[in-house]
């Protein structure tokens, strides 16, 4: 017999069902998962040795939790994942607004119904997917929204005086009894509203319009907060902070590999797009490096952070840039080019907060600089380092390539040129092929033209070649020729 087919209180008692609090549910199911070696927060990458162990310790300790971190650090994702640690179904008194436990009722409605019907009290079952409540803290949130208020219409319909506790209309928190309740951006909640949460967290009673209703609510609270909010918009009041058991710091991905996993998992791509555009591995690394550069940039506000969503939306834009080229050319497939990275600028400018110096530079110029810095950072990982000072007339790994540009006066790479034209232009630069064979012979055949373009962009960043934006593409020249033409 499946437990969720039980329909009355008597059947529930006969089955031997035992009540347990939500915190015990989470704790017991987490214990089982840890014993069996099953991942507890699957799909959340980069926190395996930092955030997740702390979160597991907090759950084992039956704590209410505050996840503190900058935007885009998977705080809400972690809270949602906690639902998977709940029992699949729990019983509640049918018709109860606050999911009363049939064996431990707390509302006037449930208590009266059980007195009246006894073992025939009807019960219903609540699936764990329905046991997650979320509220974004905004300055307009009221105590009535969260806790409840007197309902004059209910009083009139039931012909009750305002002195009767049955006239109370419960707010979001009592209605989330026996559930996980998340308050996002807690510091944005006005101090007087935060004060209303004190007793719920500690003593379990609520007070509405003079009614002191003793209600030991059974809840798992998860709060999220951004350190920036403590100075910009508000703070968590000290007595409330004191009642939150564990405060856990989140962080951004620490390696390119983890960042790539997150982006590939979260990017919303359809099959047509994925099949139409081949993305070299180096391009994926370069995309993630842009976010790493942004988090260190002097033009971007570090306190605000650079969300992982920037890489995700940039990746979507990147593929769309290449896909658009295939549509215009009437072809089915293409390989991503480094010049396609200009298509991600809108994804960057919409996701970063600039400091004064960044505002002076302009958002688009800062975005272009981040792409250039990412190229410069990754370049020495693949090719010989370019020293700032070199001895006169000393031959380097790049001498032949630079001389080629001096002799041939460079070339143009147009945004919408066909794959064949693009490859022919780069194939004509013979020193590029030699450089690639000597230092990176193991690159996949499909990646080599992207890598060739990467070499050119790298030499531009190390001031060995020049790159100028023209109306519909890029022009590469030797650095002296470019200087003379500008004069």
CB 303 within 8 A of CB 369: no
Q: Looking at residues 261-271, what average pLDDT do you find?
A: 91
pLDDT score recorded for residue 322: 94
Q: What is the pLDDT of residues 91-103, one digit of tens each?
A: 999 999 899 999 9
Instruction: Clarify whether residues 240 and 266 are in a common domain.
Output: no
Instruction: Clarify whether residues 281 and 292 are in a common domain.
Output: yes
Q: Which CATH number covers residue 165?
A: 3.40.50.300
Instruction: Clarify whether residues 298 and 440 are in a common domain.
Output: no
Please report the beta strands in 250-403, taking only residues with DSSP state E, as ranges in sequence order: 277-278, 334-335
Instruction: Clarify whether residues 230 and 369 are in a common domain.
Output: no
Instruction: Clarify whether residues 374 and 352 are in a common domain.
Output: yes
Instruction: Clarify whether residues 227 and 273 are in a common domain.
Output: no
| Final residue of a structural domain among 365, 382, 399 | 382
Q: What is the pLDDT of residues 217-233, one digit of tens each?
A: 899 999 999 886 554 45
pLDDT band with cut points at 50, 70 and 90 for residue 208: low
Instruction: Clarify whether residues 12 and 71 are in a common domain.
Output: yes
3-state SS, residue 382 = helix
CB 404 within 8 A of CB 430: yes
Instruction: Clarify whether residues 230 and 371 are in a common domain.
Output: no
Instruction: Clarify whether residues 229 and 353 are in a common domain.
Output: no
Q: What is the pLDDT of residues 42-74, one digit of tens each?
A: 989 999 999 999 999 999 999 999 999 998 899
Residues 6+ positions from 373 with CB-CB distance below 8 Å: 293, 297, 461
Instruction: Clarify whether residues 369 and 456 are in a common domain.
Output: no
pLDDT at 487 over 50: no
| Domain count of the fold of the chain | 3
CA distance 263 to 309: 8
pLDDT score recorded for residue 47: 95
CA distance 306 to 375: 19
Instruction: Clarify whether residues 405 and 327 are in a common domain.
Output: no
CB 206 within 8 A of CB 174: yes
| Final residue of a structural domain among 249, 271, 290 | 249
DSSP 8-state code for residue 392: T
Percent pLDDT > 70 in the chain is 90
Domain housing 370: 252-382
Q: Which CATH number covers residue 459?
A: 1.10.10
CB 250 within 8 A of CB 51: yes
Instruction: Clarify whether residues 117 and 7 are in a common domain.
Output: yes
CB 450 within 8 A of CB 282: yes
Q: Looking at residues 231-245, what average pLDDT do you find?
A: 77
Q: Which CATH number covers residue 349?
A: 1.10.8
pLDDT band with cut points at 50, 70 and 90 for residue 216: confident
φ/ψ of residue 376, rounded to 5: -65, -40
| Final residue of a structural domain among 249, 266, 295 | 249
CA distance 311 to 421: 30
What's the predicted TM-score (pTM) here?
0.86
More confident residue, 404 or 158: 404
3-state SS, residue 133 = strand
């Amino acid at each position: 017999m499946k437990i969720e087919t039980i329909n009355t209180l008597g059947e529930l008692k006969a089955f031997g069902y035992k009540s347990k609090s939500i915190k015990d549910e989470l704790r017991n199911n987490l214990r089982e998962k840890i014993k069996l070696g099953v991942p507890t927060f699957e799909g959340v990458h980069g926190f395996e040795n930092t955030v997740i162990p702390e979160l597991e310790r907090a759950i084992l300790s039956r704590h209410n939790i505050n996840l503190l971190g900058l935007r885009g650090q998977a705080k809400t994702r972690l809270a949602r994942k906690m639902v998977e640690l709940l029992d699949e179904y729990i019983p509640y008194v049918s018709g109860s607004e606050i999911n009363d436990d049939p064996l431990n009722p707390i509302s006037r409605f449930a208590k009266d119904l059980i007195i009246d019907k006894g073992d025939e009290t009807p019960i219903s079952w609540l699936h764990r997917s329905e046991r997650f409540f979320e509220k974004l803290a905004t300055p307009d949130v009221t105590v009535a929204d969260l806790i409840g208020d007197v309902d004059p219409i209910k009083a009139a319909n039931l012909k009750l005086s305002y002195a009767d506790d049955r006239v109370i209309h419960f707010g979001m928190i009592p209605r989330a009894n026996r559930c996980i309740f998340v308050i996002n951006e807690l510091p944005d909640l006005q101090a007087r509203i935060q004060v209303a949460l004190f007793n719920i967290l500690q003593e379990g009673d609520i007070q509405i319009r003079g009614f002191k209703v003793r209600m030991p609510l059974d809840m798992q609270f998860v709060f999220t907060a951004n350190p920036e909010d403590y100075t910009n918009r508000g703070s968590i009041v000290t007595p409330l902070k004191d009642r939150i058991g564990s405060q856990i710091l989140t962080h951004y991905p620490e390696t390119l590999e983890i960042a790539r996993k997150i982006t590939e998992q979260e990017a919303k791509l359809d099959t047509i797009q994925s099949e139409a555009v081949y993305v070299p591995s180096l391009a994926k690394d370069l995309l993630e490096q842009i976010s790493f550069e942004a988090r260190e940039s002097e033009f971007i506000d570090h306190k605000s952070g650079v969300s992982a969503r920037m890489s995700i939306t940039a990746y979507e834009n990147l593929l769309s840039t290449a896909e658009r080229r295939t549509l215009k050319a009437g072809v089915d497939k293409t390989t991503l080019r480094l010049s396609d990275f200009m298509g991600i600028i809108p994804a960057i400018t919409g996701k970063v907060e600039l400091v004064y110096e960044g505002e002076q530079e302009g958002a688009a110029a800062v975005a272009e600089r981040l792409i250039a810095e990412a190229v410069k950072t990754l370049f020495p990982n693949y090719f010989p380092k370019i020293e700032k000072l070199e001895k006169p007339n000393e031959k380097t790994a790049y001498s032949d390539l630079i001389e080629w540009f001096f002799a041939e006066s460079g070339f143009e790479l147009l945004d919408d040129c066909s794959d064949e034209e693009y490859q022919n232009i780069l194939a004509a630069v013979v020193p590029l092929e030699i450089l690639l064979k000597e230092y990176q012979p193991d690159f996949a055949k499909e990646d080599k033209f992207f890598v060739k373009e990467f070499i050119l962009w790298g030499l531009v960043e190390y001031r060995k070649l020049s790159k100028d934006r023209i109306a519909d593409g890029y022009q590469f020249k030797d650095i002296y020729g470019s200087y003379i033409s500008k004069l």
